[in-house]
Amino acid sequence: MPTPARGELVRVRREHSDVALAAVGAVSAMAVGSALGVPWELAAPPADEQCLDLRGRGGQFDPGEWGADVQLAVLGLEVAAQGPLGSRAALDQLAVRVMAWYRSHPAQVAPGLQLVLQWARQPSLAPAHLRGQIEREQGDPLTAARLVASASARWDSLRPRSRVAGNEVFALMVPVALSTALDARECTRVSLEVVRMVTPDRRAALLAASYAQLLRGALAGFTPARSWQECLDWRAAVQEVLDGIRSLGAECPTFGTTGVAGEEEAFLLSIRPGDDAGAVLGLGAGLDAVSVMDRVLAAVRVAEWEQRRNAQLNPVWVGLSSAVRAGGDTDTVAALAGALLGAAAGVGAVPADLARQVWGWPGLGQDGLRDLATVAVYAGLAG
């Protein structure tokens, strides 16, 4: 049984074992989805007769290699494996790990995140009138507060019409969900803490927190005897976020005492599985926080529809195929949809032949990734 770094044993109950099993399914399917989507990112989507494979993308990713989203998730899992992700020390450590990853020159970094990290590292690169707010958060090593200040400065530098949050923060919601699998309120708090290290955008925060809650709900609700569709309830996830923000009150990151405005709640509720109601509010193609959530939920919905027609179909494969064939930011959408479907349907639904082939930074294969997820779950339960 995995033990947290501080040496305290976790009393394992049946529900804990089920959560860990679902977590393994989540990270395994996430990695497969990312590797399947890498070849088609922002390219012409594959034709119906084309087979999906793990060919990689020349010059950036080798065959079977997962993309930047899984790399970010691994960073969070490494920190979560040491203890609950929501402590100040853990958030600071996450900031240090993300910066170290960036300085290692990864093949791909989302533009918004790249600017946040550049300015946090060198405030002189920021516009002169915004440098002060970054420099006030001095610290060696880097702190989460420094990233929060840099993210805020980057947002303030944009013209109002250009303020569209990207999708890069969603991958970090996977370790958040694993670390807080049985605590809905803490899941909301930690997800909002992590989001503001990347963007202060309130709508992106609501969407990312709702994704984290949706994944957490799948982890907490998984049992081998339960249908996977019952584990994924978007409306319930949204309600958990809204309830959590109200419960946190003044202590709530981003929302504080103001809470969620009526139009923000209406916006969040407009995002529905299989519906494109929110897509017009973003960049589209899964590149922004709004359209990525639209596409992730659409892929899950396709898996539900297709398995209703044919119960023998594999929901993970159907969902991943749909995410990739829809085009756009395929590796991100397929990775995020994969995490949800893998958690809900279990590791047994992850195509084993593909899972054996995927690998990626920092030198992990499926076994290492699954071990990391398991330890992160038990470390969160111990906290």
| Binding residue numbers for Mg(2+) | 329, 331-332
The 10 Å CB-count burial string (b at 16+, else e) for 244-254 is bbeebeeebbb
Helices 315-325 and 14-37: crossing angle, nearest 10°? 30
CA nearest 71: which of 327, 344, 276, 361? 361
Name the region of 2 (left: φ>0; alpha: ψ -120 to 50; beta: rest).
Answer: beta
C-alpha–C-alpha distance, residues 207 and 270, integer Å:
11
C-alpha–C-alpha distance, residues 98 and 382, integer Å:
25
- 217 contacts: CB under 8 Å, gap ≥ 6: 231, 232, 233, 236, 237, 240
C-alpha–C-alpha distance, residues 262 and 282, integer Å:
19
Rounded to 5°, the CA angle 182-286-362 comes to 60
What SS3 class is residue 56? coil
Residue 40, judged by CB atoms within 10 A of its CB (0-12, 13-18, 19+), counts as buried
Q: 65 - beta bridge partners?
A: 359
For residue 281, what is the DSSP state?
Answer: G
| Binding site residue list | 329, 331-332
